[in-house]
A and B are shown apart, each in its own frame.
Chain A
Amino acid sequence: MSESAAADGTVAVDAGRYLYCLVSLDGAGENEDPPRLDTTGIEGAPVTVVESAAAPVGAVVHPRREPFDSTDLTKLRDWLLAHQQVVDAAGDRFGTPLPVRFDTVLEGDDDAVAAWLGRNADQVADAFDEVAGCWEYRVTLSWDSTAFESEQRATDAQLSAIDRRLDQSGDGKRFLLEKQYDQRVRELVRERRAALQSDLVDRLAEQGRQVTERPVRSDAAASLDVELDDDAVAQVALLAPPDRESEIGSSLDEVAATPGVDVRFTGPWPPYTFTTQITDDA
């Protein structure tokens, strides 16, 4: 790779293309030569669609010699949102895109990008088959266990038994019994959380083509100081056709009717979660 290392460790190539997403040119764009996208990219960069000669697919790009990197938060946010807006525009124009991870820069000019698309035409076609006609929806289920815990304190046989023994015990024994009591409450809460989680996944699996659970706290989200996260039970991504939105919404209304449960339903998004790698060696 012909690149020069700058003092701060970044590299810049002589020519490169920032890659937003891949689009299928099998439909909307096929009568237009070359296919165009009326939007601007990160920092107002001119966005073009590079067509593959080997298959009816294109790459949405702008010229860029190095990856984006900055500690300026406003800048970072603007880059991320601009990236997303280009992917949105591509989705509006060409149907479900294959969104590429933020900050992917390929070395070379449009021809190099077209050659890369051609080398990987089969993988790209398979990836489009996976998501065709579908979009990503994300569901977060949060649960405030307070009411459930009160109910269990009143109704659970094991807790009642520990309670009775507590009344008849001295200080030393009480300490152990109180510990047992708390453990039992935590166990009941854990079981309930698992049941809520699997019920949600089962419901969504019925509605969509693919369902994936995300960790409730990703590495990046772990640093977020968002109160809701403490009660988060499940984060699920669903790949589904948009005409299923109202059925999915109705099913989630039923879930949200459970006391203490809060459901957030977002989308439609490009299928970020349902795409994998495009590897030259594959």
Chain B
Amino acid sequence: MQPTRADDHAIVELLDVLLERGVVVQADIVVTVADVPLIGISLRAAIAGIAKMTEYDDYAWDRPSPG
């Protein structure tokens, strides 16, 4: 099988990863929202709603592999 970025589930997974993963910057110059660093609480709470949105057609997710 080949890896894909195109199916709906991959996008749900991506949104989840975007909110939870990636380099975390710890520095005095990081701007926070109401003392909650990085991510507003509403973002996290809203992901279930995002997952149900299926109109992803505008986005070119299925990309050739790098290298």
Q: Which residues of chain A have a CB within 8 Å of any CB of chain B? A: 1, 3, 9-11, 13, 16, 19, 21-22, 65-71, 73-74, 76-77, 80-81, 83-85, 88, 91-92, 95-96, 98-108, 112, 116, 127, 133, 135, 137-138, 140, 218-221, 223-226, 228, 241-243, 245-246, 248-249, 252-253, 256, 263-269, 272-273, 275-281
Contact = CB atoms under 8 A, between A and B. Distances in A.
A80 B46 contact: no
Contact of B22 (A13, A99, A224): A99
Interface of B: 1-5, 7, 9-10, 12-34, 38-40, 42-53, 56, 59, 63, 65-67
A231 to B, nearest CB: 13
Contact of A266 (B13, B28, B46, B48): B13
Which 9 A-B pairs rank lowest in CB-CB distance, beginning with the nearest?
A69-B40, A9-B34, A101-B22, A272-B21, A279-B26, A267-B3, A223-B48, A105-B31, A266-B10
Contact of A73 (B12, B53, B59): B53
A9 B33 CA distance: 7
A218 B5 contact: no
Given A268-B66, A272-B17, A70 B23 contact: no
A251 B53 CA distance: 33
B2 to A, nearest CB: 6
A249 B2 contact: yes
B59 A265 contact: no
Contact of A103 (B7, B29, B39, B50): B39
A67 B33 contact: yes
Contacts of B46: 71, 73, 76
Given A101-B21, A218-B16, A269-B17, A225 B48 contact: yes
Contacts, number: 208
Given A104-B25, A106-B25, A218-B16, 13 more contacts: A22-B23, A67-B31, A69-B43, A76-B43, A104-B24, A106-B31, A221-B47, A224-B16, A249-B3, A252-B1, A272-B21, A273-B21, A275-B21
A137 B9 contact: no
| Binding site secondary structure of chain A | mixed
A81 B18 CA distance: 9
Contacts of B42: 69-71
Nearest to B60: A85
Contact of B30 (A9, A99, A105, A228): A105
A16 B4 contact: no
Nearest to A252: B1
